[in-house]
């Protein structure tokens, strides 16, 4: 039976925990947010370092400009990301969810804000249950306003990856933000506030597809956060004389109180567990106080927990080797392609609207539409030449000046000798050469029609 979705009524108030995993989580929140928030502000050779321009359909990546014709590189990046996620999940389980997923990161930030204005979990729980008064209004108002402000900045930053960030922010005071920019910034802000500020763990439990299909990527040697049942059970409080009648678990419930997913890890592996490890920190602290060995809850694998078997090495896991090889091959192919890629492109299209015609000197002339793309930031001058069997000349513009990061479109005519070429279609090549760096040359092929 499907689990019913409870939203605010079942709100969790996770306790703050301290320890290795909590510190790593804080570190990841800071690093990922700094990367996300600062990247659109970084300039590279006078232009925004990372930006996808929808108008010109260009992706700018630290001096590299990708055109729609470079879609293959974008596809390669997506393949690498997908394979990387498969490999990472197979080895490390849901560590992505617990440490880097935007939903987790934003939820953690919203919890920091909530703690700052509304106090520790017990105070928040009591206040939420109490009737509205000045204190509740003030604290909750400040907390929600801060969450909204943070969400708005997040939305604006996201739009800054598509629209020049500095211009976007400079236009804010005068209300010069475009309609679509404002629409997407507000939409993303609204979703951040709703999903991370209010729905929180419900998103992981009921909405995230990754949580659902990750099971197929797991195996018995995948790292999971696990409770050592053999050592912990039967659980129970210590006797008054300090002795332990049962297993190591003193049933203090701290592991449950700190869990941001609101689950009890002692009930075994559950799909709701995001692998954040804060229950490990909480339990280790309890074990330290009891002078017992740490690790009653620990990062381990199903095989290791049940049979005490050490996890196999990377090379003993064929699936991991296959994923890693595929990633390596895609990265190499992509790097080789980018290395050989010229910073300009030419597109040649035979003009089907213009018939092949005979010139005054008896040659056959075909018309072509040519587009030159210059991905360098500075203006460039190019020369164009047509070649092929029977090609005797071309009517081309002499010097082709293309503005920096711009394109030029024009028509050319290519003439061929009917004494050399028979009736039909014949291949020709159109070469584009940079006048300043003649070694930079790209060639496109097309066909010439002889009627
Ligand atoms: S059970 Fe532990 S690792 Fe899993 S979500 Fe809860 S606190 Fe995080
Ligand atoms: S924190 Fe450790 S000792 Fe306390 S209930 Fe959880 S598993 Fe048991």
Same domain, 253 and 352: no
Same domain, 195 and 233: no
| Whether the CB of 278 sits within 6 Å of ligand 2 | no
- Closest residue by CA, ligand 2 atom 3: 249
Same domain, 305 and 201: no
Same domain, 298 and 351: no
- Closest residue by CA, ligand 1 atom 6: 259
Pairing of strands 364-374, 64-66: unpaired
Same domain, 50 and 194: yes
Is 425 part of any domain? yes
One DSSP character per residue, 420-431 reads TS-SEEEEEEEE
From residue 84, how far is each of 60, 148, 224, 235 by CA, in Å? 23, 33, 18, 40
Burial of 334 (0-12, 13-18, 19+ CB in 10 A): middle
State which of 196, 216, 236 marks the end of a domain.
216
Same domain, 204 and 236: no
pLDDT at 239 over 80: no
Ligand 2 nearest atom to the CA of residue 227, by list position? 7
Residues 169-222 pLDDT 10s? 998 888 888 889 999 999 999 999 999 999 999 999 888 888 777 778 888 899
Q: Which of 123-127, 320-324, 374-378 has the lowest mean pLDDT?
A: 374-378
CA of 250 to the centre of ligand 2 (A): 6
Residues 113-154 pLDDT 10s? 999 999 999 999 999 999 999 999 999 999 999 999 999 999
**Of 13, 273, 295, which is best to mutate to test ligand 1, by the most ligand atoms within 8 angstroms of its C-beta?**
273
Domain extent for 401:
344-450
- H helices, E strands: number in the chain: 15, 16
Is 176 part of any domain? yes
- Closest residue by CA, ligand 2 atom 1: 283
Domain count for the chain, please give it: 3
Is 86 part of any domain? yes
pLDDT at 2 over 60: no
Ligand 1 nearest atom to the CA of residue 297, by list position? 2
For residue 26, which of 99, 119, 130 has the smallest C-alpha distance? 99
Q: Which of 101-110, 128-137, 327-336, 405-414 has the lowest mean pLDDT?
A: 405-414
CA distance 358 to 353: 16
Ligand 1 nearest atom to the CA of residue 258, by list position? 7
Is 45 part of any domain? yes
Same domain, 353 and 405: yes
Q: What is the pLDDT of residue 242?
A: 60
Is 333 part of any domain? no
Residues 420-431 pLDDT 10s? 988 899 999 999
At 245, is the pLDDT very low, low, confident or very high (cuts 50, 70, 90)? low
Is 256 part of any domain? yes
CA distance 149 to 156: 11
> Please, are residues 143 and 135 in contact by the beta-carbon 8 Å criterion?
no
| pLDDT over 90 percentage in the chain | 63
- Closest residue by CA, ligand 1 atom 2: 279
Q: What is the pLDDT of residue 211?
A: 79
Q: Which of 141-145, 280-284, 309-313 has the lowest mean pLDDT?
A: 309-313
What 3-state DSSP class applies to 381? strand
Same domain, 428 and 369: yes
Is 317 part of any domain? no
Phi, psi (5° rounding) for residue 446?
-150, -165
pLDDT at 1 over 50: no
389 or 152: which carries more pLDDT confidence?
152
- Closest residue by CA, ligand 1 atom 5: 273
CA of 419 to the centre of ligand 2 (A): 92
| Whether the CB of 265 sits within 6 Å of ligand 2 | no
Same domain, 14 and 112: yes
**Of 275, 281, 282, 297, which is best to mutate to test ligand 1, by the most ligand atoms within 8 angstroms of its C-beta?**
275
CA distance 412 to 401: 15
State which of 169, 189, 216 marks the end of a domain.
216
Same domain, 31 and 99: yes
Q: Residue 281's beta-bridge partner residues?
A: none
Read off the CATH number of the domain in which 362 is found. Answer: 2.60.40.10
CA distance 261 to 180: 35
Indicate which ligand has the atom closest to the C-alpha of 262: 1
Is 329 part of any domain? no
Same domain, 87 and 150: yes
Q: What is the pLDDT of residue 244?
A: 58
Residues 23-41 pLDDT 10s? 999 999 999 999 999 999 9
Same domain, 303 and 186: no
pLDDT mean across residues, the chain: 90
State which of 216, 251, 278 marks the end of a domain.
216
């Amino acid at each position: 039976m499907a689990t019913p979705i409870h939203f605010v009524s079942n709100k969790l108030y996770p306790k703050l925990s301290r320890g290795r995993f909590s510190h790593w989580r804080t570190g990841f929140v800071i690093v990922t947010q700094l990367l996300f928030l600062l990247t659109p502000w970084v300039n590279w050779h006078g232009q925004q370092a990372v930006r996808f321009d929808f108008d010109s359909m260009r992706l700018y990546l630290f001096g590299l400009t990708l055109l729609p014709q470079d879609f293959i590189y974008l596809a390669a990046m997506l393949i690498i990301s997908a394979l990387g996620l498969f490999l990472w999940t197979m080895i490390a389980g849901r560590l992505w969810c617990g440490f880097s997923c935007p939903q987790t990161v934003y939820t953690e930030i919203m919890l920091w804000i909530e703690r700052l204005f509304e106090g520790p979990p017990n105070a928040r729980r009591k206040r939420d249950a109490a009737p509205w008064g000045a204190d509740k209004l003030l604290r909750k108002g400040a907390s929600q306003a801060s969450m909204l402000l943070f969400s708005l900045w997040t939305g604006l930053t996201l739009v800054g990856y598509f629209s020049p960030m500095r211009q976007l922010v400079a236009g804010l005071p005068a209300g010069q933000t475009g309609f679509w920019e404002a629409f997407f910034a507000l939409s993303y802000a609204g979703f951040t506030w709703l999903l991370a500020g209010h729905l929180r763990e419900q998103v992981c439990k009921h909405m995230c597809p990754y949580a659902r299909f990750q099971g197929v990527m797991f195996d018995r040697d995948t790292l999971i956060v696990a409770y050592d049942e053999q050592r912990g059970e039967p659980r129970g409080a210590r006797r008054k004389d300090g002795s332990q009648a049962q297993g190591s678990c003193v049933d203090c419930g701290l592991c449950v109180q700190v869990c941001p997913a609101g689950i009890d890890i002692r009930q075994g592996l559950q799909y709701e567990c995001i692998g954040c490890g804060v229950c490990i920190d909480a339990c280790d602290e309890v074990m330290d106080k009891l002078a017992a060995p740490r690790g009653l809850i620990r990062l381990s694998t199903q095989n290791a927990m049940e049979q005490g078997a050490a996890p196999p090495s990377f090379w003993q896991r064929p699936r991991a080797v296959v994923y890693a090889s595929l990633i390596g091959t895609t990265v190499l192919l992509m790097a080789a392609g980018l290395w050989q890629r010229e910073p300009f492109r030419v597109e040649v299209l035979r003009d089907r609207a213009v018939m092949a015609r005979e010139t005054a000197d008896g040659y056959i002339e075909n018309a072509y539409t040519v587009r030159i793309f210059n991905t360098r930031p500075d203006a460039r001058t190019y020369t164009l030449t047509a070649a092929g069997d029977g090609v005797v000349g071309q009517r081309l513009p002499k010097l082709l000046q293309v503005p920096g990061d711009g394109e030029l479109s024009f028509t050319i005519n290519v003439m061929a000798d009917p004494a050399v070429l028979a009736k039909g279609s014949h291949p020709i090549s159109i070469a584009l050469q940079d006048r300043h760096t003649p070694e930079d040359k790209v060639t496109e092929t097309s066909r010439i029609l002889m009627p």
